[in-house]
Chain A
Amino acid sequence: MEPARSAGNSLAPAQEGQWETMTAMCPGDPGRSLDVLWDTRLIDGPLNLVAMRGAFEDVARRHEGLRLRFRSLDLIPTVSIDERPSVHLELLDLTAVDPHRRGAAIDELVYQDSRRYFDLLRGPLWHAWLVRLDRNRHLLNVSFSHIIADGWACNVFVRDLLAAYRARMIAIDPFPEPAPSFAQLHGMQLERLAVTTQKSRYWQDALRPPGGRPWPAAPIGTDPNPQHRLLFAFPSQLPREIGRLAWVARTTPFVVCMCAYYLLRTFSSQERRLVIGTASHGRRGLERDAVFQSVVDPYVSIDTSRQDSVVDALRIVHESLAGAIDNLVPYTALGRAVNPAFDRQRPWPDALLCDGHFLSSSPDPFHSTAAGHLPREVRGGHVDLGTRAGGSAPRADRDVVVTQVFMPGRPRWRRQPDAAAREVGAPRGGAAAVPNRAPGIELFENRLGGSVRYDEGLGSADDMRAFALDYTRLLRALVAQPDLPLSGLESAHLAAVS
């Protein structure tokens, strides 16, 4: 095992919520929660494997988050940063495999990587596959334990990997400026998530338990992440109309879409007050350049009356979301603020706090370039080897183009905690509650559609198709009649769906 530069660090503030969730899923070894992020890219062009392997080392050397491992797996764990980078890069050559079997092999590889077990005590907490598809085409699949990375971090990793590759190919310094250290990131997060009495009071009010009863213990040994998702696309004109309504109400398209989700849920449940969980990476300045976990979840408590108009509701949702973001604190501080029994009941993840989830993070697989089995272009990058300080000759013949890819048909959301760990974490006496009481929605980054996230217990795929249709229908009603009172909107909506 590599020597660690420092021992006894606590987790950074933004890691706390993730750790609580992983620990609740698998208390004995949270690494067995298989809570993994992964990123898949196609690399077109003549790839220099030696330079690419070196580039992985450069990136691991640059980002301390990639060298983080755990010293203990307690509820309040300690972590350390290894001095030297440890790179788990595996190469696979599929050039001799026929295209049909190659597709199946890649599907399986990506699927297995999406549920990879990371040994938190040994590290590294990330892994990469480089798959050779033909002479000038490779597939890169990088997976990270969610405790060290978020969606933004995946992009930073790939950006820095390409920068390091380019630097090795033309012999320049890849990173003139250092990335922020773990200690710096820790400090930045402490600052932006500073705990105050005012913030604690905000969360006590926003997340008061239903009926004033004490919060129960949270379910242990279950995966709170929805296992299925169903994709949907908005009608072609709708995103523009959403954008227009957003500015009329002086808010964002995301808030318009969140408001429609809230209204759909409140029309069906008749509960006016709902708490919707979302996510905010909140990165500022140097944090933007780090491969690290920075996501903290704002829980948006929304309460409207039937006399409010659509625009009123949009402003209420906007203010509720802004308030939640302004009052973000580390997860343990939030838990102690809202649940006096938090420390006795830990692990106490956020499964009970939300009536539903509305997120924005996934790339859009519909509006992308399909080419054979693999690529649906989402986001690209170009390693331009034609320029170099000091003026060497253009090397465009060695450029590579990198494209993020979506893997159609792979069971992305099939993730179960390890079976043995589930036994270790069997529900405690009378404590289990059912998470994911309603389907959630995840918007595509480009706001052209999204996906319904659900568990089998909530209904069939046909039920979720109907949910997506109802949601889209309600969004259309919002943009068509922004001055309508919610009572009228509800009547019209219920008539339309009955």
Chain B
Amino acid sequence: MRSDIHDLPMVIESLLSESGAAAGLTGDDVLLDMSSLELVRFLIALEERLAVEFDDESIMNMSLETVQDIVDLVEHAHPSASEPAAR
């Protein structure tokens, strides 16, 4: 797993910005404003950036509506066998 994982909020913010997906504040968290297809694209990009794989159980069981949800998902991720994507 790359050191990027320690900068997770920044990585997420950067990917959100790159994908053009919008996000809005909800309380102390940030609400993801994207369609299910965009969410899949975002998760694939996040897997590549962090060199991790999200398992299907986590994806199916977790609500993925906020940035904090994504942080929680990453905590349940496994290291990927493949090389991480270049930034």
B82 to chain A, nearest CB (A): 14
Complex contact B36–A252 (CB within 8 A): yes
Q: Mark B49-72, 1 if CB is under 8 A from A, else 0.
A: 000001010011000000000000
- Give chain A residues whose Cβ lies under 8 Å from the Cβ of B22: 284-285
- Any A CB within 8 A of the CB of B86: no
Report the contact-size class of chain A (Cβ under 8 Å from the partner). 10 to 19
Complex contact B59–A251 (CB within 8 A): no
The answer to whether A240 and B60 touch (CB under 8 A), given A285-B22, A285-B24, is yes
Chain A residues close to B by CB (< 8 Å): 240, 243-244, 247-248, 250-252, 254-255, 280, 282, 284-285, 288, 318, 321-322, 325
How many residues of B are in contact with the other chain, CB < 8 A? 15
- The main secondary structure of chain A at its interface with chain B is helix
A282 to B21, CA, bound (A): 12
A285 to B33, CA, bound (A): 8
Once A and B bind, how many residue pairs between them come within 8 Å at the CB atom?
A: 37
Chain B residues close to A by CB (< 8 Å): 22, 24, 33, 35-37, 39-41, 43-44, 54, 56, 59-60
A247 to B53, CA, bound (A): 11
- Give chain B residues whose Cβ lies under 8 Å from the Cβ of A288: 33
A285 to B60, CA, bound (A): 26
Nearest opposing residue in chain B for A280, CB measure: B35
A252 to B59, CA, bound (A): 11
Taking a contact as CB atoms closer than 8 A, the residue among B35, B39, B59 that contacts A243 in the complex is: B59
15 pairs from A and B in contact (CB 8 Å cutoff): A243-B56, A243-B59, A244-B60, A247-B60, A250-B43, A252-B36, A252-B39, A255-B37, A285-B22, A285-B24, A285-B33, A318-B37, A322-B37, A322-B41, A325-B37
- Give chain B residues whose Cβ lies under 8 Å from the Cβ of A321: 37
A478 to chain B, nearest CB (A): 15
A479 to chain B, nearest CB (A): 12
A250 to B44, CA, bound (A): 7
9 extra interchain contacts, Cβ-Cβ under 8 A, other than A250-B43, A251-B37, A252-B36? A248-B56, A252-B40, A255-B37, A280-B35, A284-B33, A285-B22, A285-B33, A322-B41, A325-B37
